[in-house]
Every structure is written in structure tokens, then in C-alpha cells.
Structure 1
Amino acid sequence: MRPGAPLLRSVVAVKLSMMINYSGDFHADVERVRELEAAGLDIVWVPEAYSFDSVSQMGYLAAKTSTIQIGSGILNTYSRTATCMAQTAAGLDYVSGGRFVLGLGASGPQVIEGFHGVPYEKPMARIRDYINVCRMTWRREKVVYDGKAVQIPLPEGEGTGLGKPLKLINHPVREDIPIFWASLMGLSVTATAQYADGWLPIFFDPEKFHTVWGDELKKGQAQRDESLGQLQISAGGMVAIGDEFAGDAADRVLDMARPNVALYVGGMGARDKNFYNTITQKYGYVDEAIEIQDLYLSGKKEEAASKVPREMLANTNLVGTASHVKERIAAYQEAGVTHLAVTPIGDPTKTIEQLRDLMG
């Protein structure tokens, strides 16, 4: 077992997952998802950010597919109330025949305050409260909840005073809809390992992830309810398989990730509060992370992208010969990854078929 392998895990068959583009051609994406479903893709994640809402699109996907799981990647916990989130998840699980996965996250103040006009307060506590309320709602219990961020019904002295505890009218397809938490650092990762069914990390290096999140994962897993089972992890990156991607030839693919990594490491958040930059430093790329941020915030975005360490790109993507990619899949599996999140370079259907062959 690698030193970074999470506690309380067993090696399981890895599922294949993919994110569709929130700014792309959705109707074309749906047809592609249907092809990928036939090729063996297990789950498709539908993002939202501040684009079209993802719920209507996931309902459409449910009608157009039959076996693939459909996940929200992610729904933020500020633009919908906790019980609305539970209703939404139960509704999507119903129309999909039990194929929905609820991906939750806090987004960031730029979107929450700037687009939704809601104060960005208590993000970690809020998500934990949402998880508890969702599960309570799906069990059709009367929703009475007094959390740090969520109180249902409204406390005495707030509102009209006419609110009363209610329970969901319908009987959900499942009481245990999987909940994945897109957490980044510290207490949120600990809470994810304790409360959520799954985790959606970023920049996941299967050999080094323990240097960033190991202590938090162990602490949360030590307090985890056994009934939740193993913490599922969805992680991965770009995938390009073939002899033409061997050795230095992989660089032209890995370089495609540079602008996006530089955006997150250099430009997401204030200089002194950028979690993606902190993650990069915790991986050991301290000087590089500082330089990327300095360049990016100075407007030198291309130069910032050029400073992203190649080792980081190589370790967080799956690019190379078939034998190399097979080794990388094994590394992710040994690290506890249950859902290999892939961004195919080239023909997506062919890539999924290649991955299925490599995974046996």
C-alpha cells in the first residue's frame, strides 16, 4: 500500500466519469453522452457555475439515457434552500430511475455574492447542514433542524411565526442518494470524509495527495459512520493513450492544461487566500506557486502558464502509452479513487473504450 492511501478503504472496481462543458452545445453533448453510455461511461457530471441551470439539463439527460449515472458537478448550497436541494435531488432520482448523484459545493464569493446576491457565510457548516437535511427529507421525516447555518422551521421571532414542520409528500426512489462534496482544504475535507458519500478533489496526485489532505482525511474517516461505507473519490484528468504520446511527446497534451491550472493557482481568489495556490504549495511546488500567482495577477497569463511544473501536470493526468496509462489507473485505484474522472483528448468514445480495455 502506498503511504498516501486513505484509511478504511478496500480496492474496488473503478468507475469512469466525465464532465460535460457548461458553455458548450448541450444538445450535441447529450448525443455524445448517449454514445459514451454505450461505450461504458458510468457517470456524467453536469456543471452549473453561472451558466444555464444544470437541473433542467440533468432532467433532459435522464430522459435521453438509460443506464448512466447523472451527477451535479456541482450545485452550490447558497442559491437553493436545503429542503429545495433535497426536493431537487429526489425529483432527479425519480425521473432517472435511481441514477442521480448529488454533487454539492460552496462555489466562491465571486459567484455567490456577485451573481446570486447572497452573503458567502459559513460554507463548511452550510454544506454539512445541507447533507443532514437532505437525508432527513429523503427519509420522509418532518424537517426540524437546528444547525449552524440552517434552521428549519425558522426560529421563533423570525418571519411570520406561522411555519410548521413538514415532510416530503412523495416517497423517494432512494433514501440514500449519494452525496459528493467538492471540498478543498482543512475542516471541509475532514467533514467530507466524515459525512459525505464521496469527495470531489482537484489537482489529485495519487502518489502525493496525502501531503495535502492526508491528516484531514484520516481525522474525518476516524469519525465516519460505518453505515456510509467507504468514502468514494472522483479524481483524474486529461486522458491520451497511445505510443504517439510516449515520453516527451506527451508535452503537447500536458501543455493544454497549463492555462487552466494557471488560472486556478494564479487567479482564483485574493493573493493571500487562494486555496488552489495553497494546494500547489503543499505538493512541494512552493516557489512555482508563488511565481505563477505573481505573474498571473500582473496580467502575464501566458508566462504564468509556462511556470506550471511539468511534474504536476504529468502526475495529475493520464497521458502516455497504454502500459503507462494502465500503471496510472492502478495508482489511482490504490490511492482509493473509485471514480476515474476523465477528459478525453481526441475521440471520447474511443478513449472510453481504450480505458475499458485497460481496466479489464
Structure 2
Amino acid sequence: MTVRDVYLPVAAQPSVETLIEMSQRAEDLGYERVWLPETWGRDAITTLTSIAKDTETVGIGTSILNVYSRSPALIGQTAATLQEVAEGRLRVGLGPSGPIVVEGWHGVSFERPLRQTREVLDIVKQVLSGETVDYDGDIFQLSGFRLRCDPPDPVPPVDAGGMGPKSVELAGRFADGWHALMLTTDGIRERLDDFETGGEMGDRDRSAQRVTLSLPCCALDDRETARQLTRQHVAFYVGGMGTFYRDALARQGYEETAYEISQQWASGEQEAAIDAISDELLDEIAVAGTPDECLDRLERFEAIDGVDAINVSFPRAADRETIDATMDVLAP
């Protein structure tokens, strides 16, 4: 059975308390987990610690911590500590993010993202095991240390984000799950094949892994407002966040549209970039419209074999009222 999670807003919120209140609402509505992205606003760990202290049953997770701005050992220490604070409710999401954030914000070279992700996954899992970490990788060499506190019990699962075939294969081979986003119904099925291939290479138990698909969602009585907010969201990622989302969309049969969005956005023609997203594409990559429409479309994504969780996310420009209304409509 596919579960429903909440992807807390990526856009800046008025306060940490706002994010706590959203998480409490998600808990009351029966969502399984709240995920928090980390970009260039509030850090995920401090915020999730606050959420963990002010909730009781809802799971928490990082989606995603990038694998460049913290050392692998520090990510492991942080996950162990947050799991303790959350009393076993943590799930970790890691990934490379992209060069715009890694280089432009953190000042770190965005090199060998697949290898970096693989080695960080390996080391974080070793740290969380409580055993001495001895690791001789291409990028990282560690030896002689182990957690000086008790290891977390249970050990939190460690997932990986990925969009391209090789990164998704890596998630299937080395991680406990995969975070998918900006994928059409056909696109997610193609990448699921890569995830399964990776799992076979790593001799993984697929039943113990989780595939979480993040979907931009906006359910309002005002249909056109809901769809326009969601169009703006998709256009920003495809046009304004480097080449990853553009290339992912192009791989899924929308190459002409992906490059038009990217070119219009780069030329400062944001409205033209938004208008380039057809109704067909919007419905293939998001859930937007009236409450009844959104419930029907969400069920279509939930019916995809291999998707274990749907992460209800929100348009960047959505206000608190819109977020609350969408969360209420799509509650489990």
C-alpha cells in the first residue's frame, strides 16, 4: 500500500514555528512522515530537531542533505543524534544536489557526484552501525574512530536522491530507498527499472527499500489559481535551477519543451517559460486543480507499481492557506 508523506515547503517560511505547525497538522491528518529540504534557508537539522520535539508520532526526514557541505562522518553523527532526539522516527535522505547550490552557496567544487554520493552513503552507514570506521575510498580515507556514544537503535534508513539512470541505479544498489522528483508517470516507471537493476547488482531486498515520489500538489476550489501556481513551480525548477531538471524532463520525451522553458527563463522571459508548460505536461508531472481532480490524479500516481510513498509537496509561491488546504484535501 502506498503511503502519503508531506514535503515541507522549500520556499522560506515566516518562522521555524510555522514549519512545526505544518508538521503537527500533518501528524493530525495521518501523514506518515514530514520531509524537509535543505537549500539556502534554514538548515534541516535544527529545524527537524524542533519538529521532533514538538510532535509525537509523525516520522521526520531530510530530503535531501547534500553530500558536499558536511563531511560524511558528521552526517553520520548528526543522523545518530537526530534519531535519538526523534525517538526512532528518522529517515535520512542524501544526494548531490547540484552545482548551483554546491558551488555558488557552499563554495565547494561539484565533482564526481556519483562517486561522492556512493562513498558518503557507505561511510554514513558505517558510522551509524557503531563499529570502527575504516574506509579507503577514492575520495575519502578514514580510520580509527567510532561513535563515542551508543549507536542509534533502530538505525535510521539512509536513502539517496537521483534523477538520471546511473544515479537511480546507485540508489538501488547502495541505499535503503530512492527519492524521485520531477518525473512523469512514464518517467518514473523507466527510472524504477534502473532502481531495480541497482538492487539486483547490490543483492538488495527490494521489500526493505522504499521509493518515495515527490509530487508538486495544489488543490483549490479556484482551479486556475492552483494550476498557475504549480506551473510557476515547475518552470522555476526546469528553467532556473541549472541543467538537471531540464535534462530530466528532456529524457522523458519533452526535450523541445524543456529547452524552451530553460531558454525563456534565462532570457528573463519568465511568463513565457511558464506558458510553455502545457496542460498535458502539467498533469503528467504534478497534481493541480480542484480537490476532486487532485484526488483522482494522486491515485493515478499511487497506482504505479514500485512507488511506495507519495510525498505531497507544494508550489514555491503557495501561501499558508493554500498549503493547509492542499494538505487537508490529500490527507490519507
**TM-score normalised per structure 1:** 0.82
The more displaced of 22-31 and 192-201 is: 22-31
Partner of residue 29 from structure 1, selected from 19, 39, 45: 19
* 1:114–1:103 CA distance, 2 compared to 1 (3 A): same
Is 2:83–2:90's contact at 8 Å kept on the other side of the alignment? yes
Question: Does the alignment pair 1:234 with 2:212?
Answer: yes
Structure 1 Cα separation of the partners of residues 97 and 74 of structure 2: 18
Structure 2 Cα separation of the partners of residues 145 and 224 of structure 1: 18
Is 1:135–1:175's contact at 8 Å kept on the other side of the alignment? no
CA-based RMSD: 2.4
Q: Which residue of 2 aligns with 1:95?
A: 85
Structure 2 Cα separation of the partners of residues 57 and 315 of structure 1: 32
Q: Which residue of 1 aligns with 2:225?
A: 252
* 1:174–1:130 CA distance, 2 compared to 1 (3 A): farther
Structure 2 Cα separation of the partners of residues 210 and 267 of structure 1: 26
Is 2:199–2:205's contact at 8 Å kept on the other side of the alignment? no
Is 1:139–1:175's contact at 8 Å kept on the other side of the alignment? no
AA at the equivalent of 1:255 = Q
Task: Quote how far apart the aligned CAs of 1:90 are.
Answer: 0.4
Task: Quote how far apart the aligned CAs of 1:61 are.
Answer: 1.2
Structure 2 Cα separation of the partners of residues 67 and 253 of structure 1: 30
Is 2:224–2:289's contact at 8 Å kept on the other side of the alignment? no
AA at the equivalent of 1:294 = Q
Aligned length: 325
Q: Which residue of 2 aligns with 1:278?
A: 247
* 1:293–1:22 CA distance, 2 compared to 1 (3 A): closer
| Structure of larger gyration radius | 1
Question: Does the alignment pair 1:268 with 2:241?
Answer: yes
Is 1:179–1:198's contact at 8 Å kept on the other side of the alignment? yes
Is 1:15–1:340's contact at 8 Å kept on the other side of the alignment? yes
Question: Does the alignment pair 1:83 with 2:56?
Answer: no
**TM-score normalised per structure 2:** 0.88
* 1:236–1:268 CA distance, 2 compared to 1 (3 A): closer
* 1:291–1:221 CA distance, 2 compared to 1 (3 A): same
Residues 81-230 of structure 1 aligned to structure 2 (within 5 Å): 81-153=71-143, 165-174=144-153, 176-211=155-190, 213-227=191-205, 229-230=207-208
Q: Which residue of 2 aligns with 1:18?
A: 7
Structure 1 Cα separation of the partners of residues 10 and 179 of structure 2: 17
Is 1:45–1:73's contact at 8 Å kept on the other side of the alignment? yes
Question: Does the alignment pair 1:300 with 2:289?
Answer: no
Question: Does the alignment pair 1:316 with 2:285?
Answer: yes
Task: Quote how far apart the aligned CAs of 1:292 are.
Answer: 1.6
Is 2:238–2:262's contact at 8 Å kept on the other side of the alignment? yes
Structure 1: 5+ residue runs without aligned partners? 1-11, 154-164
Structure 1 Cα separation of the partners of residues 131 and 286 of structure 2: 43
Task: Quote how far apart the aligned CAs of 1:87 are.
Answer: 0.4
Task: Quote how far apart the aligned CAs of 1:223 are.
Answer: 1.8
- Cα deviations by residue, 1:177-205 (Å, 9 ceiling, x for unpaired): 12121212131111011111221222122
Is 1:236–1:317's contact at 8 Å kept on the other side of the alignment? no
- Cα deviations by residue, 1:214-256 (Å, 9 ceiling, x for unpaired): 55234213224334634312224344557x46xxxx4432221
Task: Quote how far apart the aligned CAs of 1:171 are.
Answer: 1.7
- Cα deviations by residue, 1:302-332 (Å, 9 ceiling, x for unpaired): 1111101221211222235666444433332
Structure 2: 5+ residue runs without aligned partners? none
Structure 2 Cα separation of the partners of residues 348 and 300 of structure 1: 27
Is 1:236–1:318's contact at 8 Å kept on the other side of the alignment? no
* 1:52–1:237 CA distance, 2 compared to 1 (3 A): same
Task: Quote how far apart the aligned CAs of 1:334 are.
Answer: 2.8
Is 2:159–2:179's contact at 8 Å kept on the other side of the alignment? yes
* 1:104–1:288 CA distance, 2 compared to 1 (3 A): same
Structure 2 Cα separation of the partners of residues 277 and 342 of structure 1: 22
Identity %: 28
The more displaced of 224-233 and 55-64 is: 224-233
- Cα deviations by residue, 1:324-353 (Å, 9 ceiling, x for unpaired): 444433332332222211136755555445
